[in-house]
Amino acid sequence: MIELSDIRKVFNSGKPNEFVAIDGITLSVERDKVLVLKGPSGSGKTTLLSVIGCMARPTSGRITLSGKEITSLPERFLTEIRRKSFGFVFQQFNLIKGITAMENVILPAYPTGEGFSVLKKRALSLLELFDLSERAFSKVEWLSGGEAQRVSIARALVNDPSVIIADEPTAHLDTKLSKDFMEIIGKLKVRRKTIIIASHDPIVYESAAVDRVLEMRDGRILSRATRQ
């Protein structure tokens, strides 16, 4: 589904504080599978996720998505691909405060120009899927941590992307909620989503839903791949 070949990401290139965050990663992400990137903080997980998710361009290397080369696409197309193909779940949830859960869910779909009633229906059914029907019209700051995360997952799904990217999704959740999250991931897998998670939380990488775990260190993937 997604092929990375020899990806490098260098920050502050050419300056004294030059930093190689990703150092030549070649990786193939399989369709409809759950991939976990684990590794210590600073190992380059977040950077790799943003490169895969078309949020940042690699310094060098090639990425293909469903066989299409996307590394050299201009910004506008890249945004469109990102919007259509990727849904993001952030560590801090990154919901927009002061507006309702429903509006937060719709937000990524606004620029698509779809009709509001269609979007609203879709958002409400997603919220229902995550047992949030009653909270649909509450402001997000009134939601609990678990609810906020489920809203952010619903938001990631609103454009019906094929890939879900989650960066440290359980960092702010207790054990129970973390397990709930992995359950949701299992459900999404059934719904034929490709899922890439960066996490060093055992609850995540030891979960039964996970198909493959790769360990990262210093911007590289350790050759010893766990559970494959």
Partner 1 sequence: MSRFNKQRNILDFTLSSLLRRRTKNSALVIVYTLIVFSLASVLFFTQAIKKEACIVLQNSPEIIVQRIVAGRHDLLPADYIDTIRAIRGVQSAKGRLWGYYFEPAAGANYTLMVSEEPGVEVGRIVIGQGVSRTIHANRADIVPFRRYDGSYTSFEVSDILSSESELVSSDLVLISESDFREMMGIRGEYVTDAAVYAKNKRELFMIADKIKRILPDTRPITKDEILRTYEAIFDWRGGILLVILSGAVIAFVILAWDKASGLSSDERREIGILKGIGWETSDVIAMKFWEGAVISLSSFSLGIILAYIHVFFASSALFEPALKGWSVLYPEFRLVPHMDPLQIATLFFLTVVPYTVSTIVPSWRAATIDPDTVMRL
Ligand X SMILES: Nc1ncnc2c1ncn2[C@@H]1O[C@H](COP(=O)(O)OP(=O)(O)O)[C@@H](O)[C@H]1O
Does residue 46 bind Mg ion (CB under 5 A)? yes
DSSP structure class, residue 27: E
Residue 42 binding: pick among ligand X, Mg ion, partner 1, none (C-beta 5-8 Å cut-off by kind): ligand X
Contact call for residues 59 and 9 (beta carbons, < 8 A): yes
Buried b (16+ CB within 10 A) or exposed e, 156-187: bbbbebbbbbbbbbbeebeeebbebbbebbbe
Which residues are CB-contacts of 159 (< 8 A; sequence separation ≥ 6)? 83, 84, 87, 108, 109, 112
Q: How far is the CB of 7 from ligand X (least distance, A)?
A: 13
Q: How far is the CB of 49 from Mg ion (least distance, A)?
A: 8
Residues in the chain: 228
What's the token pair of residue 81?
């691909």
Q: How far is the CB of 39 from ligand X (least distance, A)?
A: 6
Interface residues toward partner 1, by CB under 8 A:
46, 49-50, 55-56, 75-76, 79, 82-83, 88, 90-92, 94-100, 103, 106-116, 119, 155, 159, 167
Interface residues toward ligand X, by CB under 6 A:
11-12, 19, 21, 39, 41-47
By beta-carbon proximity to partner 1, the closer residue of 109 and 184 is 109
Residue at 72: amino acid letter: S
Residue 180 binding: pick among partner 1, ligand X, Mg ion, none (C-beta 5-8 Å cut-off by kind): none
Residue 97 binding: pick among Mg ion, ligand X, partner 1, none (C-beta 5-8 Å cut-off by kind): partner 1
Residue 55 binding: pick among Mg ion, ligand X, partner 1, none (C-beta 5-8 Å cut-off by kind): partner 1
CA angle, 13 as apex, 9 and 19 as ends, to 5°? Answer: 60
What's the token pair of residue 17?
């504080």
Count Cα atoms within 13 angstroms, Cβ side, for 120.
Answer: 5
By beta-carbon proximity to partner 1, the closer residue of 103 and 215 is 103
Residue 223 binding: pick among ligand X, partner 1, Mg ion, none (C-beta 5-8 Å cut-off by kind): none
Residue 83 DSSP SS3: helix
Q: How far is the CB of 169 from ligand X (least distance, A)?
A: 13
Q: How far is the CB of 36 from ligand X (least distance, A)?
A: 13
Q: Which listed range, 13-21, 38-46, 123-131, 217-225, lies at the site for Mg ion (CB under 5 A)?
A: 38-46
| Interface contacts to Mg ion, rule CB under 5 A | 46
